[in-house]
Amino acid sequence: MLAGCGSDEGQEDSAERAFASQYTSLASDSVLLRGATVLTGTGERLDAADVLLADGKIVAVGADLEADDAEVVDAADKWITPGVIDVHSHLGVYPSPSTASHSDGNEMSAPVTAEVWAEHSVWPQDPGFAAALAGGVTSLQVLPGSANLIGGRGVTLKNVPGRSVMDMKFPGAPHGFKMACGENPKRVYGSRGTAPSTRMGNVAGYRAAWIKAADYRDKMQAAADGAGEAPVRDLQLETLVGVLDGEILVHNHCYRADEMAVMLEIAKEFGYKIAAFHHAVEAYKIPDLLAANETCAAMWADWWGFKMEAFDGIRENAALVDRAGACAIIHSDSEIGIQRLNQEAAKVIGAAARAGIEIPPERAVQWLTQNAAKALGISDSVGTLEAGKMADVVVWSGNPFSVYTRAERVYIDGALVYRRGDAATNPVTDFSLGTAAANGGAL
Amino acid sequence: MNRLILAVCTVLLAPVALGETVAVVGGDVLTVGPAGRIAGATVVITDGLITAVGADVKVPADARVIDAKGKLVTPGLFTPFGTLGLVEVGSSAGPVDSVQRGNQFAASFTVADAFNPRSTLIAINRIEGVTRALIAPGGSSADALGNRSHVISGLAAVANLSGTAASIDKRDAALVVNLGEKGVAFAGSSRASALLELRHALVEAIDYQAHGDAYELGAHADYVYSTTDLAVLGRVINGEIPLLAKVDRASDIERLLDLADEFKIRTIVHGGVESWMVAKRLAAARVPVILAPENNLPANFDRINARSDLAAELYAAGVKIAFADGSGSTHNARNITQSAGNATVGGLPWDAALRAITLNPAEIYGVADRLGSIEVGKQGDIVVWPGDPFELTVYPDAVLIRGQVQAMNSRQTLLRDRYLEADTSKPPAWRH
């Protein structure tokens, strides 16, 4: 049976619009995963439970499910989670091999490049996509880099091979929007003797951009109301207005607590919302502020010290954010780390326990699934195992927070797209043909 | 307030108290030595050295006892490559003392002289079980004046993480060289140029060994390399110091092995992403490989044939292995246990993975007579674990270096405790 093209939301992403999703789910049969420990992503853990997938959707999760026409997979001793979602990846825009000719993630020609879209740099043949799939990653946001104050639009992908980025685009997902605090923009432009060269210069740069955007929005609105001529379409301002209108979600690279607080002030000043701070190494210092603003913190488990603004990193970061009722996410920013986001969460679980905070697996899994889906604006269709959602599912060999556990089966929209040790099931990029990876060596 | 700060500092800088006897009692001891695993065993350490190991060892009356019942006891972890104590903050902050640019000195650059035992990284990695580390020089791209690093980076040292003045165990554990793509960057054009620079240096060293006296009398043509460099290179020629070569591509490893055969020198492969393709030859030449099990992507054209089961492949072929972080980020040298765990999933036996992060590095750098396993006569580097040390949720209960029980705190635990505090009536700056 061939599933339909995209989802209902996909229809809204009108085919008339350029660069719309052309994702088509792979053929799938009904599958009944039987007898597993299921972490639903909603905070629940079900033991000896079944998960039924059909027509690309999750049909049911619970005990003793029946389905006459479904392939039954014995999942006793296995654990099942929603597909892992990475909110911060540069796969495709900084692909392997990381040659200078592949360096397409940072438009380092001006501090504000809201007009560029990461999807126009994505190379679908990046072998990193297949490696991430083996780590259970079913969706990911690919972002521009952090050289600029405003780096451009991010794109959310389904982790399926495609001939073009349109084949991979998550149907109906809103665009992301990359902003960067701190050291990177001021270093990149300061070293050229241009603004910004300080953190105060950074802030002046963001504010100037929003002032222009508000003006553009007002002129567009006036023209629509019949009061004056519309300005020439401006891609940069169009994206910024998309943020002000809430259609494009802000993902703000920001390490330090004090800078996150300043960024929340700027958002207040211009009336937009920050979906998530990324690389939020000091989020543990302001979890109350994050909770009050409904802004997620996307974090590494333990990266620290490689730059000054990362000097106060601690392994308990995500746990302290979570404890305060704020939205905690574990992200990768790495083609290596994306393959083991479950292991990164495990480090936090252990560190939190050392500090007296118990985090059960059903809680920690939300950092990789439901919370990530929320930050990307796709939580209506993925991030949890609930009836009616896309059947993006991972069957793990055991507790996903053990170092010895691996993803054994990965389903995207109900289709088996990865099976550990089964080369015939697993995708191989054009680039990897003839290498060890093509023979399963990379996985 | 000052009194409190002083108290914290005292704890962080755990004083050395020689003459103490410590007994780690009742744990399952993974000796990584000939005795293998001993259940319910006691380890006694006196004056920094292990004096007894066994299930029926008596605890000396004056011993400080560490209860390890129901726990695992392993040797201290040994990270085989990194920049602990040489780099505080890598980017735009410093200090970064692992890199030398310019060609006046190359082989004789000695990072041991830049080591800072009080670096924040030391305690942060120590409390997670790392007790010894190779600290290595590395090349870097040219600076603003065009000074570049040499293909030969300098001498790597073995250091302990005691945080004391006596931290350097061996100043000249290996001579670091860069071949393959890294060699191209430093030699300026081709990987053949990098190999040529190395060969030329070795040839000069041999010449200097024969004609050094004449040179000192002014009766010999000048050398390209300084005499301090030639003295170090002479010790490589003599087999005293191994070459630690950063190299990934299979054909580059083969050229390195050719060079080693020709000059009869000892080598160690660092990186070795494609080393599985030449594993038999590496095993026959007894050349160890320091690798990152997580490096499974073709990050560049030297690594096209990367694979996740590299460690298992090499082990099966009889190659000695050790694990270093792929990113070279020493801040998380502690994640060596994660690498060990991941390598077992690739097929490496569990005991071999533990050996790869303890005894193997000690053997590779010629300090296994003192370090790397829990055996009588060796230094008392011991870690007590409440569970499987490779599991990411398991952190050490106790760490001993040379028999000294280490304080289990670091700058990171202080930060954590400040923000963990439930009483928020005081601002963070007054929570200490």
The confidence score (pLDDT) of residue B2 equals: 40
Verify whether the Cβ–Cβ distance A127 to B88 is below 8 Å: no
Verify whether the Cβ–Cβ distance A351 to B304 is below 8 Å: no
Percent of chain A with pLDDT over 90: 93
Q: How far from B77 is each of A43, A351, B39, B267, CA to CA, in Å?
A: 37, 19, 20, 23
pLDDT for B17-34, tens place per residue? 567 899 999 999 999 999
What's the mean pLDDT in B293-310?
94
Percent of chain A with pLDDT over 70: 95
| Residue B138 banded pLDDT, cuts 50, 70, 90 | confident
Verify whether the Cβ–Cβ distance A351 to B395 is below 8 Å: yes
How many CB atoms neighbour CB B3 within 10 A?
6
Window 64-103 of B, Cβ < 8 Å to A: 88-93
What's the mean pLDDT in A208-222?
98
| B292, pLDDT greater than 90 | yes
- Can you tell me the distance from the alpha carbon of A285 to that of A309, in angstroms, rounded to the nearest whole number? 14
Window 289-318 of B, Cβ < 8 Å to A: 294-301, 303-309
The confidence score (pLDDT) of residue B328 equals: 59
pLDDT for B29-74, tens place per residue? 999 999 999 999 999 999 999 999 999 999 999 999 999 999 999 9
The confidence score (pLDDT) of residue B3 equals: 39
Closest Cα of chain B to A223: distance in Å?
A: 48
With CA atoms as reference, the chain A residue closest to B329 would be: A306
Residue in B277, B91, B228 with CA at minimum distance from that of residue A439: B277
Vertex B161, ends B158 and B165: CA angle to 5°? 85
Verify whether the Cβ–Cβ distance B393 to A340 is below 8 Å: no
| B14, pLDDT greater than 50 | no
CB contact B394 to A (< 8 Å): yes
| B109, pLDDT greater than 80 | yes
The confidence score (pLDDT) of residue A1 equals: 36
| Residue A435 banded pLDDT, cuts 50, 70, 90 | confident
| A6, pLDDT greater than 50 | no
Q: How far from B294 is each of A300, B173, B343, CA to CA, in Å?
A: 17, 26, 8
Q: Strand B267-271 and strand B243-247: pairing?
A: parallel
User: Rounded to two decimals, what is the model's pTM?
Assistant: 0.95
| A8, pLDDT greater than 60 | no
Please, where are the H alpha helices in B116-190? 120-126, 180-187
Contact, A38 vs A51, CB < 8 A? yes
CB contact B393 to A (< 8 Å): yes
Q: How far from A280 is each of A86, A321, A327, A414, CA to CA, in Å?
A: 15, 10, 12, 34
Residue in A319, A327, A312, A326 with CA at minimum distance from that of residue A349: A319
Q: Helix or strand or coil: residue B174?
A: strand
pLDDT for B174-192, tens place per residue? 999 999 988 888 887 899 9
| A106, pLDDT greater than 50 | yes
Angle, in degrees to the nearest 10, between helices B191-216 and B180-187: 60
pLDDT for A377-391, tens place per residue? 999 999 999 999 999
Chain A residues lying within 8 Å of B332, measured CB to CB: 302-304
**Prior bond to A360 cis, omega within 30?**
no
Of A308, A314, A335, Cβ closest to residue B415: A314
Residue in B37, B71, B67, B72 with CA at minimum distance from that of residue B55: B37
Verify whether the Cβ–Cβ distance B296 to A406 is below 8 Å: no
| A5, pLDDT greater than 80 | no
pLDDT for A358-381, tens place per residue? 999 999 999 999 999 999 999 999
pLDDT for B354-372, tens place per residue? 999 999 999 999 999 999 9
| B424, pLDDT greater than 50 | yes
The confidence score (pLDDT) of residue A300 equals: 98
Please, where are the H alpha helices in B169-305? 180-187, 191-216, 227-237, 250-263, 279-284
CB contact A304 to B (< 8 Å): yes
